[in-house]
A and B are shown apart, each in its own frame.
Chain A
Amino acid sequence: MAEIKYLSEHYAKPEYQTLDGYKKFGGYEMLAKALKMEPQKIIDEVKASGLRGRGGAGFATGVKWGFLPNNGEPRYLLCNADESEPGTFKDRVMMERAPHQLIEGMLISAFAIKSNKAYIYIRGEYMGPAAILEKAIAEAKAAGLIGKNILGAGFDCELDLYLGAGAYICGEETGMISSLEGLKGQPKLKPPFPAVQGYLRKPTIVNNVETLAAVVPIIRDGAAGYRKYGTEKSAGTKLFSISGNVNKPGTYEVPLGYPLMDLINIECGGLKPGRKLKAVVPGGSSAPVLTAEECKTATLDYECLAQLGSMLGSGAIIVIDDSNCMVDVLSTISHFYHHESCGQCTPCREGTGWMERIIHGIVHGHGSEGEVDLLLKIADNMKGRTICALSDAAALPVLSFVTKFRDEFEYFIREKKSKVRGGQIYAQISH
């Protein structure tokens, strides 16, 4: 097995950004094909393809679309391009290299779910990709691909870009909906789920950039064609964002089920000379960390990573070699979650703050005995009792780092310095 450019086949071609370039490689032909299909047939095809959400939770896309109530209310399609989970950058690559692929996928999806209005919610920092998308949307509008009576098939759909302004929580689907409504981006209690009551209390489907783009080849190749790649429960290919201590970090598309170590050693050119693998965060900062030993058998699919107690998440892989202090690495993660908690729920607001303060104390040499167990206890109490999953996402890295690298935490507390690099980590040398 090796890298497979299925979604990303033409990403290296600069002309693929433009409407003409995109059309040269079959662009918008699948929209034309889809508009001749029964909407329900498209939903069935997506269901049969086994496509699962690429935003983090991995929920079956066709099944989600099937939750829309048949009550005649207007429906909305929202593309989640908030991409703020630390380690993740593949949506940016997709939007920069193939903005029309996303637009085509969205138009097909909107037609399938009978929506006449779609938004791309993009994080405010992504000014580069936003400019590329705005240009592509304008091109598509001018060519009659967005708007009234698309391709003469009698389907109307408007598509617009909405800019965020710096808040991880707006990636959570109900937080995103609040933000789109012009409010603070605070999540809302579920149920009702967005499919039933979402944007402006109307039925709304929220899908990730990569999920919506994948609808295009599903229409082209059919469910069976799509299933040529991947495993039974993890169908298709996926774009992985790989960063950290590898020679060639970047975005790579591989079939699901691909061995993690192959991706690190073959596609990414392995680690720096003389360095040893210590750990890998396999699915964005929220995913429990894997030890080097666990990585040996890990394959990149939903089942295997779940079996290892972690998750595929957004497909963001952070490779950590033996020059890193795990206490220090966790300190940046815990700072992130405390900073991003929206503050509505006590366990999340207080828990993220408490954990950050303890870890901050440890890396500054002020840790005290018992704090390792205290961290585990706080994290445990944050799980499963809040409005959204950020609280769990903050607890999981703490639980896994502390459990799997407990000796580094205990050493740091006892010796008041890191076990690695002779103790020379940021917090210790910065003042």
Chain B
Amino acid sequence: MFKLSDEGLKYVKNELTRYEVKQSAIIRCLYRAQDENGGWVSPDVISHLSAVMEIPSAQIEEVATFYTMFNKTPVGKNHIQVCVTLTCGMLGGRELCDSMMKEAGCKKTGDVSPDGLFTFSKVECLGSCDTAPMIQINRDPYTENLNTEKGLELVRKLRTAGGAGASGKGH
């Protein structure tokens, strides 16, 4: 069963009084719980948050499912989100995603690679089109100005780094 750390509980308590209405705290608390749960929002994350926040689980679930940044299935240590919209699409984002996935051992988006290190998602414009094609790993600052070669190198580097996430911080 998922439980927030003591630090996490403190964080949630603080968020609950931060806004005019307490349900405004749901998004940030979901991020926190997702981070502590290895990168995804499992059903027990929702029931635990519901108990801690004293907000019906249906309401938390609704928020968790509406927004794309909450992962409803497990993800690898490095969740690689490749922008494939307009500019990134024109400048090779989709091809980049496919070759990185192949190198990482993921058959399709959403899969966790056998070594547990990678999951890929194709995402919509991340607001960095002047550095296309670009990606975001977990919720780290962007990795920009990529091409296939650099993308493959990045996968290899992350694999060598092994357990540590891109930033060393995990999700």
Determine whether B11 belongs to the interface, using a CB cutoff of 8 Å to chain A. no
Q: B127, A89: Cβ atoms under 8 Å?
A: yes
- Bound Cα distance A128, B142 (Å): 8
What's the Cα separation between A241 and B131 when bound, in Å? 11
Contacts of B125 in A (CB 8 A): 84-88, 285, 336
**Which one of A125, A244, A333 contacts B69 once the chains associate, using CB atoms below 8 Å?**
A125
Is A245 located at the chain interface by the 8 A CB criterion? yes
Q: Are A184 and B127 touching (Cβ within 8 A)?
A: no
User: Which residue from A85, A167, A333 sits with its C-beta under 8 Å from B66?
Assistant: A167
* CA A160 to CA B25, docked complex, whole Å: 13
Question: Is the beta-carbon distance between A92 and B127 smaller than 8 angstroms?
Answer: yes
In the complex, which residue of chain B has the Cβ closest to the Cβ of A169? B66
A426 with B95: CB separation less than 8 A = yes
Interface size counted on chain A using CB atoms at 8 A: 57
Give chain A interface residues in 113-128, CB to chain B under 8 Å.
Answer: 117, 123-128
Q: For window 22-44 of chain B, which residues contact chain A by CB distance below 8 Å?
A: 22-28, 30-31
Q: Are B86 and A318 in contact (CB under 8 A)?
A: yes
Give the complex CA separation of A316 and B130 in angstroms.
11
Across-interface contacts of A137 in B (CB, < 8 A): none
Q: B20 near A200 (CB under 8 angstroms)?
A: yes
Q: Nearest B residue to A244 by beta-carbon distance? A: B87
Residue B63 at the chain A interface, CB threshold 8 Å: yes
A242 near B: Cβ within 8 Å?
Answer: yes
A339 interface hit (Cβ, 8 Å):
yes
Given known pairs A87-B129, A127-B141, A160-B18, the reply for A165 and B86 (CB within 8 Å) is: no
B126 (CB) vs chain A CBs: closest residue: A125
**Is B166 among interface residues, defined by CB-CB distance under 8 A?**
no
Query: A27 interface residue, CB < 8 Å from B?
Result: no
Q: How many A-B residue pairs have CB under 8 A?
A: 149
Question: B141, A86: Cβ atoms under 8 Å?
Answer: no
Instruction: Give complex CA distance A199, B158 in Å.
Output: 43
Contact of A89 among B19, B129, B139 (CB under 8 A): B129
- Min Cβ gap B37→A in Å is 15
A165 touches B129 (CB 8 A): no
Chain A residues near B86: list those with CB within 8 A.
Answer: 86-87, 281, 285, 318, 329, 332-333, 336
User: Nearest chain B CB to A338's CB is how many angstroms away?
Assistant: 11
Chain A residues, Cβ within 8 Å of B130: 89, 241-243, 249-251
Instruction: Provide the bound-state CA to CA distance between A333 and B67, in Å.
Output: 20
Specify which chain B residues have a CB less than 8 angstroms from the CB of A332 in the assembled complex.
84-86, 89-90
Within A50-92, which residues are at the interface with B (CB < 8 Å)? 83-89, 91-92
A85, A86, A285: most-surrounded residue (chain B CB, <10 A): A86
By a CB distance below 8 angstroms, the chain A residues around B85 are: 86, 285, 332-333, 335-336
Question: Taking CB as reference atom, which chain A residue is nearest B140?
Answer: A127
- B98 contacts partner chain A, Cβ-Cβ < 8 Å: yes
B-contact 0/1 string along A231-267, CB 8 Å cutoff: 0000000000111110001110000000000000000
A181 CB-CB contact with B under 8 Å:
yes
The answer to whether A185 has its CB under 8 Å from any CB of chain B is yes
Check: B2 CB closer than 8 A to any chain A CB: no
Query: With the chains together, A244 CA to B125 CA distance in Å?
Result: 13
Least distance between B60 CB and chain A CB atoms (Å): 10
In the complex with contacts A124-B67, A163-B27, A336-B85, A181-B90 CB distance below 8 A: no
Query: Can you list 29 A-B contacts with CB-CB less than 8 angstroms, sorted by A residue number?
Result: A85-B125, A86-B124, A87-B87, A89-B128, A92-B127, A117-B20, A126-B127, A127-B140, A128-B142, A160-B18, A162-B27, A163-B28, A164-B67, A181-B24, A182-B19, A182-B21, A182-B23, A199-B20, A244-B90, A245-B90, A249-B130, A281-B86, A332-B85, A332-B86, A333-B86, A336-B125, A340-B124, A426-B94, A430-B94
- Top 9 nearest A-B pairs (CB, nearest first) are A182-B23, A165-B67, A243-B129, A166-B68, A332-B89, A166-B69, A249-B130, A86-B125, A184-B66
